[in-house]
Amino acid sequence: MSKVAVIMSVYRSDNIEDMKVAVKSILEQSYKNAHLFLYRDGVVPFELNQFLLELVENKNITLYESEENRGLAVGLNTLIDKVLSIDSYEYIARMDSDDVSRCERFHRQVEFLKANPLVDVCGTSCKEFGASFALDEKHLPESHEDLLDFSIVRCPFIHPTVMFRARVFESGVRYPTNTSFTEDMALWFELLSKGYRFSNIREVLLDYRLNENTIKRRKGFGKALSEVKVRLYHMVKLRRISIKSTLLILSRLAFHILPDSAMKFAYKKAR
């Protein structure tokens, strides 16, 4: 049975009760050959630190610690380096500390990747919860060609659902740490530029936690302008130029400066 490494970064503001549920969902996977690698990104509250120390008593969990907060990309890259140094994992899966993986998630993703040897990165659908604009089911395109076009305008994966073949990172690729874009979107563009192939399983295999403040974190003209510049650049670089994509990218400027109520409505109805 192929080994799966699960990488999760933990930060001081993470909710301990949410994390207990997230970790439990990994340990209770139907796929039994998975190991959870945790990264403590800086100093955390005493109770959360005690919980982390208790977790490492489990033989299926390994903890790495940093006394300095270095950010998500650095944390994930540190874990990737550690996993690769062990040299026995065929797959590397992402997981956030506040989401819930359904028990069949890893089984379905490993099964899919074995059946589709040309696919390098595999995501899944999700159910959102915790906010008024949460979706009962969120599905993204499935095929690589559809995702290539989709990624010019939107994110091609729900990040915590993703499973990579370890060979992706054995090539030297890592999460970009010096980017004006989100770490995951910068990585997707880099992988697409290098010819890696994507796919999504149209099946809800993760419960994705939102809160009402999610909208506020994504607002702002400066953030929108940065996103538009990066997307237009990659539209040209990936040779996916079209009037439709150009208009959709430019519409992001308006989207990011909508009032909260309008943005919540758009999140609920236009995704």
Please report the pLDDT score of residue 218 as a whole number. Answer: 59
Domain boundaries, the chain: 4-211, 212-271
Q: In this model, does residue 116 exceed pLDDT 60? A: yes
pTM of the model: 0.92
Please report the pLDDT score of residue 67 as a whole number. Answer: 95
CB 28 within 8 A of CB 103: yes
Q: For domain 4-211, give its CATH number from 3.40.50.2300, 3.90.550.10, 3.10.20.30, 3.40.50.300.
A: 3.90.550.10
CB 36 within 8 A of CB 121: no
Q: What are the b/e assignments for 111-121, b being 16+ CB within 10 Å?
A: ebbeeeeebbb
Phi-psi region of 11 (alpha: psi -120 to 50; beta: other; left: phi over 0): beta
**pLDDT tens string 57-94:** 999 999 999 999 999 999 999 999 999 999 899 999 99
Q: Which of 148-162, 184-198, 232-246 has the lowest mean pLDDT?
A: 232-246
Give every CB contact of residue 156 below 8 A, 6+ residues apart in sequence: 123, 140, 141, 147, 150, 188, 198, 200
pLDDT band at 220 (very low <50, low <70, confident <90, very high): low
- Overall average pLDDT of the 85-108 stretch: 96
- Overall average pLDDT of the 126-135 stretch: 92
pLDDT band at 143 (very low <50, low <70, confident <90, very high): very high
Please report the pLDDT score of residue 228 as a whole number. Answer: 83
Mean pLDDT rounded to a whole number for the chain: 90
Please report the pLDDT score of residue 253 as a whole number. Answer: 72
Q: Which of 41-55, 125-139, 213-227 has the lowest mean pLDDT?
A: 213-227
Q: In this model, does residue 271 exceed pLDDT 70? A: no
Q: Which of 43-57, 93-107, 207-221 has the lowest mean pLDDT?
A: 207-221
